[in-house]
Amino acid sequence: MMREIPGIPYRFDDPELLKLALTHRSADKVNNERLEFLGDSILSAAVTSRLYELKPDNNEGELSRLRTRVVRGDTLASLAAGLKLGDYIMLGEGEMKSGGFNRDSILADALEAVFGAIYLDGGYTSCAAAILHVCEPVIASLPSANELKDPKTRLQEWAQARGHALPVYTLESEEGPPHRKQFRVLCTLNDLDISVSGSGSSRQKAEQSSADATLKAVSDKSGK
C-alpha cells in the first residue's frame, strides 16, 4: 500500500491515512473532507509562523495578505498539480469521466487533506516541515505586501498620501443576460481631472479594473 507521495518529504506509518486523504467524496462516503478541514488549519498555522519569521517589518494586514497568496485555492491547486497529485486521487466514475483529477478544487482539497493526514500520523512538527517544503517556492517568490493590495486600496492610499480627494466610482452601464452580465464603471479623481473606465463581470470587479487603469493613468501623468 502507498506510504508516500513523491515530492512530499514524509513517509506514513499508517498508509490508511494517506489512502483516506486521497479519497474524494465522489468515490466513497468515507472520504477526505474531514482531513481537508484539519489540513487547512495546519497549513494556515505553518505558513503564518513562517511569514512571521521572514517578514519582521510587515504588519498584521500585510502578513494576512501574504498568507492568503500562499494558502488560496489556485496556489494549492498549482502546487498539487506540480506534485502530480491527481494521479493518486480516488474519484467516482462521474468525476473521473469529467476530468476531476485535473480540477483545481479537487487538487487543492486533496493537498490539504494530505497535510491533515500527515499531522495525524506524525504530529505538527513533521506536518509543518512537509508543508513548508511544498510551499517554500511560493513563499520565496512572494511580492511585497503593498503589491498584493487590491487596486482600489492602492489608489485610495495614493490619493490620501498626496492630499487629493478620494476617487469616485460611477456605474456607467450594465449589459448582458443575468448569467453573463458586464459592468462598466468610471473612476474619477476630480481635483486631478482624471476619469478612467473599467469593466468586469460584477460591479466590484469593474471598480477594481477602473481603479487599476486609473493608477496607470496617474503614473503616466506623473512620469513615474
Helix (H) or strand (E) segment spanning residue 197: strand 194-200
Report the candidate in 81, 51, 54 with the shortest Cα–Cα distance to residue 69. Answer: 51
- 3-class DSSP state for residue 100? helix
- Give the up-direction half-sphere exposure of residue 67: CA atoms within 13 A in the CB hemisphere: 21
Q: Which residue has 460584477 as its cell numbers?
A: 202
Catalytic residue among 40, 95, 121, 207: 40
Q: How far apart are CA 122 and CA 171, in angstroms?
A: 54
Q: How far apart are CA 33 and CA 36, in angstroms?
A: 5
Catalytic residue among 95, 109, 112, 121: 112
Residue 186 β-bridge partners:
170, 197
The question of whether 104 is a catalytic residue gets the answer no
The question of whether 112 is a catalytic residue gets the answer yes
**Active-site residues: which are they?**
40, 112
